């Protein structure tokens, strides 16, 4: 992302009306600073999107940075921030460029004291000219990161089409959905041989004669031409491609090290788009870990585990089994997000399929972060009731303990 130069920036002065509440997020009075952060992040994401489209040669006819006007969310966020500075007796950023610079500064170093969680106060919105993970999370929650929404929806739409067209009933759709979701988590890199097996597994074709699963792969992956033996640098922990000379893969919470994936390429191979990694692969790592650990317990016959029940209503559904049948059902939604405050603001729970207990499961690297669980629990209060916040280790331990008690009955 390139921040606009002086000639691209219009001074933001005067009051600009709020662009409105974000649908699905239950804001409270004390959440005002989170809304401001979300608006600024949404504006930065729109500026990035405009710049990329301009670089691709597209003429922007709507209000945009190209026309000397910055996006409405950015201007609304700046107006809200102006009032916060004014009421605190501080001098607000004098123009957009000053606010861009402030966005590169951790919130706890701002001249005003923002009402954000302890963990979030250590974050910023920009890292040089790139959006930080918190900014990306905030922009998505605001519903205004156009590029992210388009890419994520495109991949999901193609995934669902493959699942539905290659099934005879709802159970088949669910099975196909789980297989394809797991593919995105387990396979950041695909060989041509793997693609051929996928075409055999999901043979239905579209009106143009192309296998529908091929469209899904084209949406989620980039094809790289190659012939013969190829050595690809990948992380031995999460499987993500690595950069030469970099000691780790950069995936949050991953302790893997660079290694080499050796394949025999016949024309090429496929690597996940960055957007696929952000929205499907990286967040899915904690889901896959928990599912794999519960599979060992399921083999003992004391529980039944469903992955992404109800086509991803939540992530995991565990039924505890006794001789007489199902005794109790637990649901779990695993989340790996940098901001506990924004996670709490945007978290919802779908009631179908039903469960007796509900858990929000965090990866260990989030749960171990000082203040993260406490901040998240605070934000959830009054929004979503009856949800226990636990780490992945704690959740698995609770499932094992419950299964043993049921088996002893």
Residue 374 banded pLDDT, cuts 50, 70, 90: very high
Residue 245: per-residue pLDDT: 61
Point out the least confidently predicted range of 47-61, 74-88, 186-200, 371-385: 47-61
Domain borders along the chain are 6-143, 149-272, 279-407
Q: Which residues of 56-80 are buried (b: 16+ CB within 10 A; e: fewer)?
A: eeeeeeeebbbeeebbbbbbbbbbb
pLDDT 10s digits, 196-220? 999 999 999 988 888 999 999 999 9
Q: What's the whole-number mean pLDDT along residues 389-395?
A: 97
Residue 150 banded pLDDT, cuts 50, 70, 90: low
Task: Specify whether the backbone of 204 is left (phi greater than 0), alpha (psi in -120 to 50) or beta.
Answer: beta
Question: Does residue 138 or residue 49 have the better pLDDT?
Answer: 138
State the virtual CA torsion across 278, 41, 129, 341 in degrees, nearest 10: -60
Does the reported pTM lie above 0.85?
no
Residue 112: per-residue pLDDT: 92
pLDDT 10s digits, 217-240? 999 999 999 989 999 989 988 999
Q: Which percentage of the chain shows pLDDT scores above 90?
A: 50
Q: What's the whole-number mean pLDDT along residues 321-333?
A: 92
Residue 345 banded pLDDT, cuts 50, 70, 90: confident
The candidate with the shortest Cα–Cα distance to 115, out of 21, 35, 42, is 35
Please return the burial class of 25, using the count of CB atoms within 10 Å of its CB with bins 0-12, 13-18 and 19+.
buried
Question: Does residue 81 or residue 397 have the better pLDDT?
Answer: 397
């Amino acid at each position: 992302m390139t921040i606009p130069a002086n000639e691209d920036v219009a001074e933001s002065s005067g009051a600009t009306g709020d662009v409105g509440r974000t649908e699905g997020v239950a804001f409270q009075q004390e959440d005002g600073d989170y809304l401001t952060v979300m608006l600024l992040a949404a504006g930065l994401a729109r500026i990035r999107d405009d710049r990329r489209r301009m670089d691709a040669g597209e003429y922007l006819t709507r209000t945009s940075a190209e026309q000397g006007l910055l996006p409405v969310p950015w201007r609304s966020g700046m107006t809200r921030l102006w009032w916060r500075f004014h009421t605190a007796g501080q001098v607000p950023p004098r123009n957009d460029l000053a606010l861009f610079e402030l966005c590169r500064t951790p919130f706890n170093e701002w001249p005003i004291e923002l009402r954000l969680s302890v963990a979030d106060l250590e974050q910023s919105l920009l890292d040089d000219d790139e959006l930080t993970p918190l900014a990306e999370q905030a922009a998505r929650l605001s519903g205004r990161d156009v590029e992210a929404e388009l890419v994520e929806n495109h991949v999901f739409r193609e995934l669902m089409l493959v699942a539905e067209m290659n099934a005879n009933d709802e159970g088949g759709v669910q099975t196909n959905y789980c297989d394809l979701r797991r593919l995105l988590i387990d396979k950041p890199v695909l060989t041509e041989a793997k693609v051929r097996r996928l075409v055999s597994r999901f043979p239905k074709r579209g009106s143009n004669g192309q296998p529908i699963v091929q469209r899904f792969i084209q949406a989620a992956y980039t094809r790289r031409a190659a012939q013969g033996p190829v050595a690809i640098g990948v992380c031995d922990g999460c499987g993500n491609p690595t950069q030469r000379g970099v000691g780790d893969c950069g995936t949050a919470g991953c302790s893997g090290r660079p290694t080499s994936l050796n394949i025999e390429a016949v024309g090429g191979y496929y690597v996940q788009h960055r957007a696929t990694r952000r929205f499907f692969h990286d967040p899915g790592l904690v889901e896959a870990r928990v599912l794999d650990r519960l599979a060992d317990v399921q083999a003992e016959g004391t529980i039944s585990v469903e992955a992404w029940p109800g086509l991803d209503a939540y992530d995991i559904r565990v039924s505890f089994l006794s001789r007489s049948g199902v005794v109790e059902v637990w649901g779990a939604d695993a989340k790996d997000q940098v901001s506990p405050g924004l996670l709490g603001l945007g978290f919802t729970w779908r009631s179908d399929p039903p469960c007796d207990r509900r858990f929000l499961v965090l990866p260990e690297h989030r749960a171990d972060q000082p203040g993260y669980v406490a901040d998240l629990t605070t934000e959830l209060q009054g929004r979503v009731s009856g949800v226990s916040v636990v780490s992945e280790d704690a959740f698995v331990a609770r499932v094992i303990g419950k299964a043993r008690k049921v088996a002893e009955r």
